[in-house]
Amino acid sequence: MKMKRQLWLLLSICLLWICSSASGQAENDKILYYPSGKLEAERKYDKSCNCDKLTEYYESGKIRSTATYLRKAILGSQLDGAHITYFENGIIQLYTFYKAGALSGRIYANFPDGKLAYEQYFADSFKTGRWKFYNADGRLKEELVFDEKKTPWNSQDDDAVQMFYTEGKLIYTVKLIAGKKSNLTIIDKDLYNRVIAAARPDGKKLFQQECAMCHNANVDIVGPKMQGVAANRTREWLVKMITNGEALRKSGDKAATDLYAKWRNMEHPNFERLDSGDVDAIIAYLNELK
């Protein structure tokens, strides 16, 4: 039932243009309710911008997300302006901004307590500037400094310098060329050796660092809950989804395609930067969530 409601939200935005073109008038606003009768989503047409404004709600009545879809052509619409997802406590979980269908400006995500989880920048349809990623305690854990106008906004093949921190201190850097690592430079040799010696993958910790902004073990948030996923998917499928879910979807995999449709076609991050040991550790942790 939930999947059908999600598909309705997406399809109704696309179909609205056909109906309005045929009648010469904007289609009536749409409202969707939870089985309990509580408001789940509403879509309102704004003639001034020729756009549809979509608001989704938690069953408690708190706002889950807001987005604006600009009508472009028959069966066409694109995100335009701010698309914001909230935790149920009202804190912004994910803030994105779209211009002409592409990410633009500063994008950021928070932890549930409001601390910054990461911030990213886009300009002229390219990744740009200095991206920062933080631990839940607020300390810097990673930075990416992009070569200007080299990496398209929706590409995972980054051209950048990647910097790694521990305890807030820079320990080493690598150069990314089309997404491939090269030119390891150690900044703090003693700290680097200690980190490498202690770097046996911890699946739960990796999940919390890399996945917890969108996934929870037991409840749906930006993405689906992880409880039981390892029992319903093969290890090979999980590896492909973790490392490059977009490629898996484009391959025609039905399970991936259905997931993208259910979760509003939100692009899954590419984690090809994780080595096989890290991915194995995450999958081992997922196997524990039964």
Tell which of 31, 55, 87 closes a domain: 87
Where is mean pLDDT largest: 127-131, 137-141, 219-223?
127-131
**What's the confidence (pLDDT) of residue 168?**
85
Task: Examine the domain organization and report whether 165 and 131 are in the same domain.
Answer: yes
With bands split at pLDDT 50, 70 and 90, how would you rate the model's confidence at 6? very low
Reported pTM: 0.61
**For the residues of 139-201, what is the DSSP string, one character each?**
-EEEEEEEPTTTSBTT-S---EEEEEEETTEEEEEEEEETTEEEEEEES-HHHHHHHHHT---
At residue 203, does pLDDT exceed 90?
Answer: no
DSSP count for the chain of H helices, then E strands:
7, 16
Count of alpha carbons within 13 angstroms of residue 55, beta-carbon side:
11
Task: Examine the domain organization and report whether 105 and 174 are in the same domain.
Answer: yes
Q: How far apart are CA 71 and CA 79, in angstroms?
A: 9
Tell which of 199, 230, 259 closes a domain: 199
**For the residues of 236-271, what is the DSSP string, one character each?**
HHHHHHHHHHHHHHHTT-HHHHHHHHHTTTPPPPP-
* Residue 4 domain boundaries: 1-87
Task: Examine the domain organization and report whether 99 and 194 are in the same domain.
Answer: yes
Task: Examine the domain organization and report whether 150 and 239 are in the same domain.
Answer: no
Task: Examine the domain organization and report whether 31 and 71 are in the same domain.
Answer: yes
Give 127's strand partners.
Answer: 122
Burial of 275 (0-12, 13-18, 19+ CB in 10 A): exposed
Task: Examine the domain organization and report whether 154 and 244 are in the same domain.
Answer: no
pLDDT digits (tens, 9 = 90+) for 94-122: 999 999 889 999 999 999 999 999 999 99
Task: Examine the domain organization and report whether 125 and 101 are in the same domain.
Answer: yes
Q: Are strands 81-86 and 63-73 parallel, antiparallel or unpaired?
A: antiparallel
With bands split at pLDDT 50, 70 and 90, how would you rate the model's confidence at 260? confident
Task: Examine the domain organization and report whether 186 and 229 are in the same domain.
Answer: no
Section 182-187 average pLDDT = 92
Q: What is the percent of the chain with per-residue pLDDT over 70, rounded to a whole number?
A: 86
Long-range contacts of range 77-80, CB-CB < 8 Å, 24 or more positions apart?
77/13, 77/14, 77/17, 77/52, 80/49, 80/51
With bands split at pLDDT 50, 70 and 90, how would you rate the model's confidence at 200? low
The set of residues, in sequence order, having a beta carbon less than 8 Å from that of 252 and lying 6+ positions away, is none
Tell which of 172, 199, 226 closes a domain: 199
**How many domains are there within the chain?**
3
